[in-house]
Chains A and B, each alone.
Chain A
Protein backbone atom coordinates (compact mmCIF):
# COMPACT_ATOMS: atom_id res chain seq x y z
CA UNK A 1 0.00 0.00 0.00
CA UNK A 2 1.20 3.48 -0.82
CA UNK A 3 0.16 6.71 0.85
CA UNK A 4 -0.60 9.38 -1.74
CA UNK A 5 -1.37 13.04 -1.33
CA UNK A 6 -3.08 15.17 -3.92
CA UNK A 7 -5.49 18.10 -4.28
CA UNK A 8 -9.08 17.30 -5.21
CA UNK A 9 -11.52 20.10 -5.98
CA UNK A 10 -9.22 22.61 -4.30
CA UNK A 11 -8.86 20.68 -1.06
CA UNK A 12 -5.99 18.49 0.09
CA UNK A 13 -6.78 14.78 -0.03
CA UNK A 14 -4.86 11.65 0.84
CA UNK A 15 -5.44 7.93 0.67
CA UNK A 16 -3.76 4.58 1.12
CA UNK A 17 -3.96 2.80 -2.21
CA UNK A 18 -2.65 -0.38 -3.80
CA UNK A 19 -0.43 0.01 -6.86
CA UNK A 20 -3.28 -1.40 -8.97
CA UNK A 21 -5.93 1.05 -7.71
CA UNK A 22 -7.27 3.13 -10.59
CA UNK A 23 -7.74 6.88 -10.28
CA UNK A 24 -11.51 6.47 -10.73
CA UNK A 25 -11.55 3.95 -7.84
CA UNK A 26 -9.64 6.41 -5.67
CA UNK A 27 -12.21 9.11 -6.45
CA UNK A 28 -15.33 6.99 -6.10
CA UNK A 29 -14.46 4.37 -3.46
CA UNK A 30 -11.88 6.14 -1.29
CA UNK A 31 -12.94 9.79 -1.56
CA UNK A 32 -16.66 9.05 -2.14
CA UNK A 33 -16.89 11.40 -5.12
CA UNK A 34 -19.36 9.31 -7.08
CA UNK A 35 -20.20 11.97 -9.66
CA UNK A 36 -17.42 10.55 -11.83
CA UNK A 37 -18.87 7.49 -13.53
CA UNK A 38 -17.49 4.24 -14.89
CA UNK A 39 -19.20 3.45 -18.17
CA UNK A 40 -17.26 1.10 -20.44
CA UNK A 41 -14.15 0.70 -18.23
CA UNK A 42 -12.16 0.33 -21.47
CA UNK A 43 -11.12 3.99 -22.00
CA UNK A 44 -13.59 4.55 -24.82
CA UNK A 45 -16.79 6.08 -23.40
CA UNK A 46 -15.47 9.06 -21.42
CA UNK A 47 -17.96 8.86 -18.50
CA UNK A 48 -14.96 8.85 -16.13
CA UNK A 49 -13.26 12.01 -17.48
CA UNK A 50 -11.83 14.31 -14.82
CA UNK A 51 -9.39 17.21 -15.00
CA UNK A 52 -5.82 16.34 -13.99
CA UNK A 53 -3.66 19.47 -13.78
CA UNK A 54 -6.03 21.15 -16.25
CA UNK A 55 -6.09 18.33 -18.81
CA UNK A 56 -9.08 16.06 -19.36
CA UNK A 57 -8.10 12.50 -18.52
CA UNK A 58 -9.96 9.19 -18.49
CA UNK A 59 -9.67 8.27 -14.83
CA UNK A 60 -10.32 4.57 -15.56
CA UNK A 61 -7.01 4.49 -17.45
CA UNK A 62 -4.68 6.13 -14.96
CA UNK A 63 -3.33 4.60 -11.77
CA UNK A 64 -4.22 6.36 -8.53
CA UNK A 65 -0.56 6.20 -7.51
CA UNK A 66 0.28 8.30 -10.58
CA UNK A 67 -1.86 11.10 -9.15
CA UNK A 68 0.62 11.87 -6.36
CA UNK A 69 0.87 15.67 -6.07
CA UNK A 70 -1.56 16.53 -8.88
CA UNK A 71 -4.58 18.84 -8.87
CA UNK A 72 -7.80 17.08 -9.79
CA UNK A 73 -11.16 18.64 -10.53
CA UNK A 74 -14.21 16.42 -10.70
CA UNK A 75 -17.81 17.30 -11.55
CA UNK A 76 -18.39 17.95 -7.83
CA UNK A 77 -15.78 20.73 -7.89
CA UNK A 78 -17.34 22.87 -10.62
CA UNK A 79 -20.24 24.67 -8.96
CA UNK A 80 -19.59 27.55 -6.55
CA UNK A 81 -20.02 27.03 -2.81
CA UNK A 82 -23.42 28.78 -2.94
CA UNK A 83 -24.64 26.31 -5.57
CA UNK A 84 -24.17 28.57 -8.59
CA UNK A 85 -23.47 26.26 -11.50
CA UNK A 86 -20.35 26.48 -13.67
CA UNK A 87 -21.28 28.10 -17.02
CA UNK A 88 -20.87 24.74 -18.76
CA UNK A 89 -23.26 23.06 -16.30
CA UNK A 90 -25.68 25.97 -16.65
CA UNK A 91 -25.66 25.71 -20.46
CA UNK A 92 -26.17 21.92 -20.31
CA UNK A 93 -29.24 22.68 -18.18
CA UNK A 94 -30.39 25.55 -20.40
CA UNK A 95 -30.08 23.56 -23.65
CA UNK A 96 -31.14 20.25 -22.15
CA UNK A 97 -27.78 18.70 -23.00
CA UNK A 98 -28.57 15.45 -21.25
CA UNK A 99 -31.11 12.67 -21.27
CA UNK A 100 -30.37 9.86 -18.80
CA UNK A 101 -27.40 11.84 -17.45
CA UNK A 102 -24.93 8.99 -17.12
CA UNK A 103 -22.38 10.39 -19.57
CA UNK A 104 -22.95 13.98 -18.42
CA UNK A 105 -20.14 14.38 -15.83
CA UNK A 106 -17.55 13.21 -18.38
CA UNK A 107 -19.14 15.29 -21.15
CA UNK A 108 -19.02 18.43 -18.99
CA UNK A 109 -15.39 17.85 -17.94
CA UNK A 110 -14.28 17.21 -21.54
CA UNK A 111 -16.30 20.19 -22.78
CA UNK A 112 -14.64 22.58 -20.29
CA UNK A 113 -11.18 21.44 -21.41
CA UNK A 114 -12.21 21.80 -25.06
CA UNK A 115 -13.51 25.36 -24.58
CA UNK A 116 -10.56 26.44 -22.40
CA UNK A 117 -8.02 25.17 -24.93
CA UNK A 118 -9.68 26.98 -27.86
CA UNK A 119 -9.62 30.69 -26.98
CA UNK A 120 -9.70 31.43 -30.72
CA UNK A 121 -13.24 30.01 -30.98
CA UNK A 122 -14.83 26.68 -31.82
CA UNK A 123 -16.85 25.65 -34.84
CA UNK A 124 -19.67 23.15 -34.53
CA UNK A 125 -17.48 20.59 -36.30
CA UNK A 126 -14.60 21.21 -33.87
CA UNK A 127 -16.97 20.66 -30.95
CA UNK A 128 -18.21 17.40 -32.46
CA UNK A 129 -14.64 16.25 -33.18
CA UNK A 130 -13.53 17.34 -29.71
CA UNK A 131 -16.15 15.06 -28.13
CA UNK A 132 -14.90 11.95 -29.92
CA UNK A 133 -13.77 10.48 -26.60
CA UNK A 134 -17.21 10.81 -25.00
CA UNK A 135 -20.05 8.53 -25.91
CA UNK A 136 -23.73 9.23 -25.10
CA UNK A 137 -25.83 6.08 -25.25
CA UNK A 138 -28.99 8.17 -25.47
CA UNK A 139 -27.40 9.68 -28.62
CA UNK A 140 -28.33 13.13 -27.38
CA UNK A 141 -25.34 14.83 -28.98
CA UNK A 142 -27.13 17.68 -30.70
CA UNK A 143 -28.10 19.55 -27.55
CA UNK A 144 -24.70 18.83 -25.98
CA UNK A 145 -23.03 20.54 -28.94
CA UNK A 146 -25.42 23.49 -28.59
CA UNK A 147 -24.69 23.73 -24.87
CA UNK A 148 -20.92 23.82 -25.44
CA UNK A 149 -21.22 26.50 -28.14
CA UNK A 150 -23.37 28.53 -25.75
CA UNK A 151 -20.88 28.15 -22.88
CA UNK A 152 -17.91 29.42 -24.94
CA UNK A 153 -18.82 33.16 -24.83
CA UNK A 154 -19.63 32.96 -21.10
CA UNK A 155 -16.36 31.22 -20.23
CA UNK A 156 -14.24 33.52 -22.42
CA UNK A 157 -16.29 36.62 -21.54
CA UNK A 158 -16.57 37.69 -25.18
CA UNK A 159 -18.52 36.85 -28.31
CA UNK A 160 -17.51 33.72 -30.20
CA UNK A 161 -15.39 34.82 -33.17
CA UNK A 162 -16.36 33.53 -36.59
CA UNK A 163 -13.73 30.77 -36.58
CA UNK A 164 -12.73 29.39 -39.94
CA UNK A 165 -13.90 25.86 -40.66
Chain B
Protein backbone atom coordinates (compact mmCIF):
# COMPACT_ATOMS: atom_id res chain seq x y z
CA UNK B 1 0.00 0.00 0.00
CA UNK B 2 1.27 3.48 -0.85
CA UNK B 3 1.36 5.79 2.14
CA UNK B 4 -1.07 8.67 2.54
CA UNK B 5 -2.05 11.38 4.98
CA UNK B 6 -4.78 10.23 7.35
CA UNK B 7 -7.52 12.58 8.51
CA UNK B 8 -10.36 11.81 10.87
CA UNK B 9 -12.58 14.90 10.98
CA UNK B 10 -15.42 15.27 13.47
CA UNK B 11 -17.47 17.76 11.42
CA UNK B 12 -18.95 17.29 7.95
CA UNK B 13 -17.63 20.65 6.76
CA UNK B 14 -14.08 19.61 7.71
CA UNK B 15 -14.55 16.28 5.89
CA UNK B 16 -15.71 17.86 2.63
CA UNK B 17 -12.96 20.48 2.90
CA UNK B 18 -10.34 17.73 3.33
CA UNK B 19 -11.75 15.95 0.27
CA UNK B 20 -11.76 19.01 -1.96
CA UNK B 21 -8.85 20.23 -4.06
CA UNK B 22 -6.54 17.23 -3.65
CA UNK B 23 -6.77 13.61 -4.72
CA UNK B 24 -8.11 12.67 -1.31
CA UNK B 25 -10.47 9.72 -0.89
CA UNK B 26 -13.14 9.04 1.70
CA UNK B 27 -12.90 5.96 3.93
CA UNK B 28 -16.22 4.57 5.20
CA UNK B 29 -16.15 0.96 6.46
CA UNK B 30 -13.15 0.19 4.27
CA UNK B 31 -14.36 -3.25 3.22
CA UNK B 32 -13.67 -2.45 -0.44
CA UNK B 33 -11.44 0.61 -0.18
CA UNK B 34 -8.74 -0.92 2.05
CA UNK B 35 -8.33 -3.96 -0.29
CA UNK B 36 -8.15 -1.47 -3.20
CA UNK B 37 -5.37 0.44 -1.40
CA UNK B 38 -3.55 -2.81 -0.58
CA UNK B 39 -3.51 -3.78 -4.24
CA UNK B 40 -2.25 -0.31 -5.18
CA UNK B 41 -5.26 0.19 -7.42
CA UNK B 42 -5.59 3.66 -5.88
CA UNK B 43 -2.95 6.10 -4.72
CA UNK B 44 -4.71 8.90 -2.87
CA UNK B 45 -2.54 11.54 -1.22
CA UNK B 46 -4.94 11.66 1.71
CA UNK B 47 -7.57 9.38 3.22
CA UNK B 48 -10.47 10.97 5.08
CA UNK B 49 -11.94 8.60 7.67
CA UNK B 50 -15.67 9.30 8.03
CA UNK B 51 -16.17 7.30 11.23
CA UNK B 52 -15.90 10.33 13.50
CA UNK B 53 -18.79 12.24 11.94
CA UNK B 54 -21.62 10.57 13.88
CA UNK B 55 -23.35 9.62 10.63
CA UNK B 56 -25.05 6.53 12.03
CA UNK B 57 -28.65 5.85 12.89
CA UNK B 58 -31.95 4.50 11.63
CA UNK B 59 -35.29 6.29 11.96
CA UNK B 60 -38.80 6.54 10.56
CA UNK B 61 -39.78 9.84 9.01
CA UNK B 62 -43.36 9.82 7.81
CA UNK B 63 -43.71 6.93 5.39
CA UNK B 64 -39.97 6.63 4.86
CA UNK B 65 -37.18 4.67 6.48
CA UNK B 66 -34.11 6.88 6.84
CA UNK B 67 -30.67 5.30 7.27
CA UNK B 68 -27.63 7.47 7.84
CA UNK B 69 -24.66 6.81 5.58
CA UNK B 70 -22.20 5.29 8.07
CA UNK B 71 -24.73 2.80 9.47
CA UNK B 72 -23.24 -0.67 9.23
CA UNK B 73 -24.80 -3.68 7.51
CA UNK B 74 -24.98 -5.35 10.91
CA UNK B 75 -26.95 -2.42 12.35
CA UNK B 76 -29.42 -2.52 9.44
CA UNK B 77 -29.70 -6.32 9.62
CA UNK B 78 -30.48 -6.35 13.36
CA UNK B 79 -32.58 -3.17 13.63
CA UNK B 80 -36.15 -3.77 14.84
CA UNK B 81 -37.17 -0.56 13.00
CA UNK B 82 -35.90 -1.91 9.67
CA UNK B 83 -37.36 -5.37 10.36
CA UNK B 84 -40.80 -3.81 10.81
CA UNK B 85 -40.66 -1.23 8.00
CA UNK B 86 -38.82 -3.07 5.20
CA UNK B 87 -37.94 -6.62 6.34
CA UNK B 88 -36.46 -7.36 2.91
CA UNK B 89 -33.84 -4.68 3.53
CA UNK B 90 -32.85 -6.25 6.86
CA UNK B 91 -32.60 -9.61 5.08
CA UNK B 92 -30.42 -8.08 2.35
CA UNK B 93 -28.08 -6.42 4.86
CA UNK B 94 -27.80 -9.65 6.85
CA UNK B 95 -26.49 -11.51 3.81
CA UNK B 96 -23.81 -9.08 2.63
CA UNK B 97 -20.30 -10.53 2.81
CA UNK B 98 -19.73 -12.26 6.12
CA UNK B 99 -20.17 -11.42 9.79
CA UNK B 100 -16.90 -9.46 9.98
CA UNK B 101 -17.67 -7.48 6.82
CA UNK B 102 -21.14 -6.65 8.15
CA UNK B 103 -19.67 -5.23 11.37
CA UNK B 104 -17.67 -2.62 9.45
CA UNK B 105 -19.19 -2.21 5.98
CA UNK B 106 -21.62 0.70 5.61
CA UNK B 107 -24.61 1.49 3.40
CA UNK B 108 -23.10 4.80 2.28
CA UNK B 109 -19.79 3.18 1.39
CA UNK B 110 -21.52 0.48 -0.64
CA UNK B 111 -23.57 3.03 -2.58
CA UNK B 112 -20.68 5.43 -3.20
CA UNK B 113 -18.61 2.52 -4.54
CA UNK B 114 -21.47 1.26 -6.76
CA UNK B 115 -20.03 -2.18 -7.40
CA UNK B 116 -22.46 -3.81 -9.85
CA UNK B 117 -22.28 -7.00 -7.74
CA UNK B 118 -23.13 -5.22 -4.49
CA UNK B 119 -26.53 -5.71 -2.87
CA UNK B 120 -27.51 -2.23 -1.67
CA UNK B 121 -27.59 -0.47 -5.06
CA UNK B 122 -30.36 -2.80 -6.22
CA UNK B 123 -32.41 -2.03 -3.10
CA UNK B 124 -31.96 1.71 -3.53
CA UNK B 125 -32.95 1.58 -7.18
CA UNK B 126 -35.89 -0.82 -6.91
CA UNK B 127 -37.32 0.80 -3.80
CA UNK B 128 -37.03 4.26 -5.36
CA UNK B 129 -34.92 5.64 -2.53
CA UNK B 130 -33.52 9.15 -2.33
CA UNK B 131 -29.84 9.68 -1.59
CA UNK B 132 -29.12 12.80 0.41
CA UNK B 133 -25.63 14.26 0.15
CA UNK B 134 -23.80 17.26 1.54
CA UNK B 135 -24.91 19.17 -1.58
CA UNK B 136 -28.30 17.85 -2.75
CA UNK B 137 -30.89 15.09 -2.88
CA UNK B 138 -30.58 12.57 -5.69
CA UNK B 139 -33.07 10.01 -6.93
CA UNK B 140 -31.57 6.54 -7.29
CA UNK B 141 -31.62 6.60 -11.09
CA UNK B 142 -29.81 9.96 -11.10
CA UNK B 143 -27.24 8.69 -8.61
CA UNK B 144 -26.03 5.50 -10.32
CA UNK B 145 -24.19 6.30 -13.54
CA UNK B 146 -22.57 2.99 -14.49
CA UNK B 147 -20.09 0.48 -13.13
CA UNK B 148 -18.31 1.97 -10.07
CA UNK B 149 -19.54 5.41 -11.15
CA UNK B 150 -21.97 7.71 -9.38
CA UNK B 151 -23.10 11.32 -9.59
CA UNK B 152 -21.03 12.13 -6.47
CA UNK B 153 -18.46 14.88 -6.86
CA UNK B 154 -15.03 14.38 -5.23
CA UNK B 155 -15.90 16.57 -2.24
CA UNK B 156 -19.51 15.40 -1.92
CA UNK B 157 -20.51 12.88 0.74
CA UNK B 158 -23.66 10.81 1.18
CA UNK B 159 -25.30 11.74 4.48
CA UNK B 160 -28.42 9.56 4.48
CA UNK B 161 -30.66 7.36 2.37
CA UNK B 162 -34.42 7.66 2.53
CA UNK B 163 -36.44 4.59 1.50
CA UNK B 164 -40.18 4.99 0.85
CA UNK B 165 -41.79 2.06 2.68
CA UNK B 166 -43.28 -0.31 0.07
CA UNK B 167 -46.29 -2.58 0.54
CA UNK B 168 -44.04 -5.58 -0.13
CA UNK B 169 -40.46 -6.15 -1.21
CA UNK B 170 -38.09 -9.08 -1.64
CA UNK B 171 -34.44 -9.60 -2.49
CA UNK B 172 -32.77 -12.77 -3.69
CA UNK B 173 -29.26 -13.37 -4.99
CA UNK B 174 -27.03 -16.16 -6.17
CA UNK B 175 -23.99 -15.41 -4.02
CA UNK B 176 -20.41 -16.05 -5.01
CA UNK B 177 -19.36 -18.90 -2.67
CA UNK B 178 -16.31 -17.03 -1.32
CA UNK B 179 -17.17 -13.35 -1.30
CA UNK B 180 -20.98 -13.51 -1.03
CA UNK B 181 -21.17 -10.83 -3.73
CA UNK B 182 -24.19 -11.33 -5.95
CA UNK B 183 -23.42 -13.23 -9.14
CA UNK B 184 -26.98 -12.31 -10.00
CA UNK B 185 -29.33 -10.60 -7.62
CA UNK B 186 -32.82 -9.27 -7.98
CA UNK B 187 -35.07 -7.07 -5.95
CA UNK B 188 -38.77 -6.57 -6.47
CA UNK B 189 -41.18 -4.23 -4.83
CA UNK B 190 -44.91 -3.86 -4.89
CA UNK B 191 -46.11 -0.31 -4.62
CA UNK B 192 -49.61 0.25 -3.42
CA UNK B 193 -50.98 2.97 -5.67
CA UNK B 194 -52.95 5.30 -3.48
CA UNK B 195 -55.03 6.91 -6.20
CA UNK B 196 -55.37 4.42 -9.05
CA UNK B 197 -56.34 6.57 -12.00
CA UNK B 198 -57.43 4.57 -15.05
CA UNK B 199 -55.39 1.43 -14.57
CA UNK B 200 -57.24 -1.55 -13.22
CA UNK B 201 -54.21 -3.02 -11.44
CA UNK B 202 -53.48 -1.48 -8.07
CA UNK B 203 -49.93 -2.70 -7.82
CA UNK B 204 -46.86 -1.82 -9.73
CA UNK B 205 -44.05 -4.35 -9.86
CA UNK B 206 -40.50 -3.14 -10.15
CA UNK B 207 -37.50 -5.42 -10.33
CA UNK B 208 -33.85 -4.56 -10.43
CA UNK B 209 -30.95 -6.86 -11.19
CA UNK B 210 -27.56 -6.84 -9.51
CA UNK B 211 -24.49 -8.77 -10.58
CA UNK B 212 -24.59 -9.85 -14.18
CA UNK B 213 -25.49 -6.52 -15.82
CA UNK B 214 -22.63 -4.02 -15.71
CA UNK B 215 -24.80 -1.54 -13.87
CA UNK B 216 -28.06 -1.50 -11.94
CA UNK B 217 -30.94 -2.25 -14.24
CA UNK B 218 -34.64 -1.79 -13.76
CA UNK B 219 -36.71 -4.38 -15.59
Do A and B bind?
yes
Query: Which residues of A are in contact with B by a Cβ distance under 8 Å?
Result: 2, 18-20, 22, 41-44, 46, 49, 55-58, 61-63, 65-66, 110, 113-114, 130, 132-135
Q: Do residues A63 and B30 form an inter-chain contact, with CB atoms below 8 A?
A: yes
Contacts of A61 in B (CB 8 A): 30-31, 34-35, 104
Give A38 to B30 CA distance when docked, in angstroms. Answer: 18
Contacting residues of chain B (43-94) with chain A, CB-CB under 8 angstroms? 47, 49, 51
Query: Which residues of B are in contact with A by a Cβ distance under 8 Å?
Result: 1-6, 27, 30-31, 34-35, 37-38, 47, 49, 51, 97-101, 103-104, 178-180
Q: Do residues A20 and B99 form an inter-chain contact, with CB atoms below 8 A?
A: no
Give A20 to B25 CA distance when docked, in angstroms. Answer: 14
Distance from B200 Cβ to chain A, minimum over Cβ atoms (Å)? 41
Q: Do residues A56 and B103 form an inter-chain contact, with CB atoms below 8 A?
A: yes
Give A61 to B179 CA distance when docked, in angstroms. Answer: 14
Contacts of A135 in B (CB 8 A): 178
Contacts of A132 in B (CB 8 A): 98-99, 180
Q: Do residues A63 and B31 form an inter-chain contact, with CB atoms below 8 A?
A: no
Task: Please list 17 pairs of residues, one from A and one from B, whose beta carbons are closer than 8 Å in the complex, sorted by A's number.
Answer: A18-B3, A22-B38, A43-B31, A43-B100, A44-B179, A49-B100, A55-B103, A57-B100, A57-B104, A58-B100, A62-B30, A63-B27, A63-B34, A65-B6, A113-B99, A132-B180, A133-B99
Give A55 to B99 CA distance when docked, in angstroms. Answer: 9
Give A43 to B38 CA distance when docked, in angstroms. Answer: 11
Q: Do residues A20 and B104 form an inter-chain contact, with CB atoms below 8 A?
A: no
Distance from A135 Cβ to chain B, minimum over Cβ atoms (Å)? 8
- Given A61-B30, A66-B51, A132-B180; A20-B4 close (CB under 8 Å): yes
- Given A58-B100, A66-B49; A19-B3 close (CB under 8 Å): yes
Give A62 to B47 CA distance when docked, in angstroms. Answer: 13
Closest 8 CB pairs of A and B: A133-B98, A19-B6, A20-B1, A132-B98, A55-B103, A58-B100, A133-B100, A20-B3
Contacts of B27 in A (CB 8 A): 63
- Given A46-B100, A63-B30, A133-B99; A41-B6 close (CB under 8 Å): no
Contacts of A114 in B (CB 8 A): 99
- Given A42-B35, A63-B34; A19-B99 close (CB under 8 Å): no
Q: Do residues B35 and A110 form an inter-chain contact, with CB atoms below 8 A?
A: no
Q: Do residues B103 and A19 form an inter-chain contact, with CB atoms below 8 A?
A: no
Give A58 to B31 CA distance when docked, in angstroms. Answer: 10
Distance from B128 Cβ to chain A, minimum over Cβ atoms (Å)? 31
Contacts of B4 in A (CB 8 A): 19-20
Contacts of B99 in A (CB 8 A): 56, 110, 113-114, 130, 132-133
Contacts of B101 in A (CB 8 A): 43, 58, 133
- Given A61-B34, A66-B51; A44-B100 close (CB under 8 Å): no
Distance from B115 Cβ to chain A, minimum over Cβ atoms (Å)? 14
Find the residue from B49, B98, B101 having the highest chain A CB count within 10 A: B98
Chain A, Cβ-Cβ closest to B102: A133
**5 other contacts beyond A46-B100, A135-B178, with CB at 8 A cut-off?**
A20-B3, A43-B31, A49-B100, A132-B99, A133-B101
Chain B, Cβ-Cβ closest to A113: B99
